[in-house]
Structure 1
Amino acid sequence: MSRSTFRRYFGSKEEAVLSVFDARGRQVADAVRACPADEDDWTALRQGLDVAVEYYRQDPVRALPMTRLVLDTPALCARQLEKQRGWWPALANALVERTDSPQPLTPAISVKAAAALDCLNIALDHWIASDGRPDLVDLLDQAFAALSPR
């Protein structure tokens, strides 16, 4: 592929690697929005993140080195975190929109969305550090359980 063709599709090398993150964030928000209104926010966020985890579960042989590349490359890691930072308002709004009588967006709802994303990142960090051996869903469940409002 020529440089000009590459630039037509991607603005940078980082975008070529991370372009999937934009769509994944929308998919997670849609999954949260689709959760039953009577389900608590934390459960809805956890279920919504199954969409993000599915990529890693479907093809761990490919996902592990790609995730390692992103986390070990400062420019990619920074850009990925920047993209993911855009997910939390979408997740917070999805929490509000899934209820029968939507309430205004509050700091508490935004904190829940941000904490859920941190749980995902911590689960991924442990998954990478263990060479993908533990089940990522179990790691995500453990992270959520640590912050579970019980």
Structure 2
Amino acid sequence: MPTELTLRDHARGAVRDEVMKRAWLLFAEQGFEATTVDQIAAAAGMSRRTFFRYFSGKDELVLERLLESGDRVAAALRDRPSDEPAWTALRAAFDEVVRPQEQHAAHSRALQLMLRDEPAVRASVLERRRRWEEVLTPLVAVRLPRRHGGRGPDVRAAALTAGALACLEVAQEAWVDEPRSRLSTLLDQAMAAVHPA
């Protein structure tokens, strides 16, 4: 019986992935507001009713993909050498999102514009930031030297994580506005400005 559930879960995951892929292609072409659930369902080869068996709505499609990106960054951060400084490790881990964005620049820029400019996705963007901080902060904390005699909460890991994420967001915004730029270079510049080597 557990094998059957695993296979069912695997099939459900594959369907969800395909729907999300089709939805994000439509979002890149049309924007979030202009894309309807009916269009997404049709692109994925399903009915509107079937779509709602897998997702509660368009917002879930946006948030889930953003959270998946955060999981990839967290996995990359976990895999960095344990003696690597936290800031250096964060920069390297961000390549999990930077590389694909640079490889599919036109598509990625359109999506970044959607995330920046469309009010309907603002809550998802804020939730992404909160959840990325939640998952990355403990991974940053283990890379920091112990505080000697410190009292009260240790805010260092949260501050480093929030600062690094702000650098990523600033770099992405600049990259969207300047098509000839490289996202990786902008991110290097932003992170070096905040935390010089």
TM-score, normalising length: structure 2: 0.67
1:102–1:21 distance in 2 versus 1, CA, 3 Å: farther
* CA distance in structure 1 between the partners assigned to 2:126 and 2:101 by the alignment: 17
Q: Give the secondary-structure state (helix, strand or coil) at the position aligned to 2:84.
A: coil
d(CA) in 2 for partners of 1:13, 1:88: 23
**CA distance in 2: counterparts of 1:71 and 1:89, whole angstroms:** 22
User: Shift in Å at residue 11 of structure 1?
Assistant: 1.7
Identity %, equivalent residues: 37
Q: What RMSD in Å do the two structures reach over aligned CA positions?
A: 2.1
1:43-54 pair list within 5 angstroms: 43-54=88-99
Pairing 1:89–2:146 present: no
Contact 2:83 2:143 in 1 (8 A): no
Structure with greater Cα Rg: 2
Aligned to 1:56: 101
Would you say the 8 A contact 1:33–1:97 is kept in 2?
no
Residue 146 (structure 1) aligns with: 193
Q: Does 2:182 match 1:135?
A: yes
Question: Any stretches of 5+ residues in structure 1 without a counterpart?
Answer: none
Q: 1:13 aligns with which of 58, 63, 67?
A: 58
- Displacement of 1:26 in angstroms is 1.1
User: Which residue does 2:48 correspond to in 1?
Assistant: 3
Question: Residues 106-147 of structure 1: CA distance to partner in whole angstroms, max 9, x if unpaired?
Answer: 3101110111110010001101111x3200000000110111
Q: How does 1:90-109 map to 2 (within 5 A)?
A: 90-97=135-142, 106-109=154-157
Higher RCO (Cα < 8 Å, 6 or more apart): 1
Query: How far, CA to CA, are the matches of 1:67 and 1:149 in structure 2?
Result: 27
1-side partners of 2:136 and 2:78: how far apart?
8
Q: Which runs of 4+ in 1 moved over 6 A?
A: none
Scaled by the length of structure 1, the TM-score of the pair is 0.87
Aligned residues: 147
Deviations 1:60-85 (A, max 9, x none): 12111111112110121331221221
| Partner SS, residue 17 of structure 1 | helix
Q: How far did residue 97 of structure 1 move? A: 4.4
Bigger shift: residues 2-11 or 20-29: 2-11
